[in-house]
Amino acid sequence: MLGNWMKTSILMAAIVALFGAVGAMLGGQQGMLIALLFGGATNLWAYWFSDKMVLKMYNAREVDASTSPYLYNMVRELAHRANLPMPKVYIIDEAQPNAFATGRNPENAAVAATTGILRLLSERELRGVMAHELAHVKNRDILISTMSATVAGAISMLAQFGMFFGGRGEDRPHPAFQILVMILAPLAAMIIQMAISRTREFGADRGGAEISGDPLALANALAKIDAYARGIPLHAAEAHPETAQMMIMNPLSGGGLRGLFSTHPSTEERIARLRAMVV
């Protein structure tokens, strides 16, 4: 618990510092002050509302035992096994097989699955995936994950609009430098996300395997998702790439920098670690 609060505090401090640095580089002292205020407000807003915003981005619809008994009852059984409060359950109408968890704590958590993953996976494999997402909830990763997605998008927006609130005269940097900052600031936010995301996935894989009691089910699910997801775009993730790190599998179809700064470890290594859990 203490370790995750420490991670959250470090993340919030790093984000506010990045906001201030971007503001200073784009608009001098005036820009830095505006950016610091914006960064602080964004962190507070993200803490309380980022989960709702992400679910809205993906047009997720909440389901219950009457509207989706298969998924809802599965999550309820796994949450009981994990000794967790029952999270809200959402379905996303997207063909790409994927899933994520969000919320600021286990008492205010939600899990979401695409229609694509519901069609692709067997019941055993889907249990492995939902157990993985509940492991994120149990490990209290979801606050860090959702906040980093929100503030990374805000940093990109700040960089794009930085020229409009910059300083004056000598306090204002050269336009070429401002353009460079507009490019590099979102990359810096991606690096922060990458740093906190990759090891978290390994932990959720192990935790999910322990919750479901079936490491091979999750390993098989990851192999299937990896094979199918590459050829099917996830439109909401393409529109909001800062949310990609929340997914069980990288949903982005683009290569280049998106691949270089992937927030997910290799599927092969994840599968190998899960198989090694089977004695």
Q: Enumerate the active-site residues.
A: 133
Please give the Cα distance from 275 to 26 (Å, whole number).
Answer: 49
Return the structure tokens found at 89: 């359950």
Q: Say if residues 68 and 93 touch (Cβ distance below 8 Å).
A: no
Neighbours of 211 (CB within 10 A): 25
As a residue count, the chain comes to 279
Pairing of strands 109-114, 88-92: parallel
Q: In the chain, how many H helices and how many E strands?
A: 10, 4
Please give the Cα distance from 279 to 269 (Å, whole number).
Answer: 18
Residues 6 or more apart in contact with residue 172 via CB below 8 angstroms: 27, 28, 166
Longest dimension (CA), the chain: 68
Q: Say if residues 27 and 172 touch (Cβ distance below 8 Å).
A: yes
Pairing of strands 61-63, 99-103: unpaired
Please give the Cα distance from 199 to 221 (Å, whole number).
Answer: 19
Pairing of strands 88-92, 61-63: antiparallel
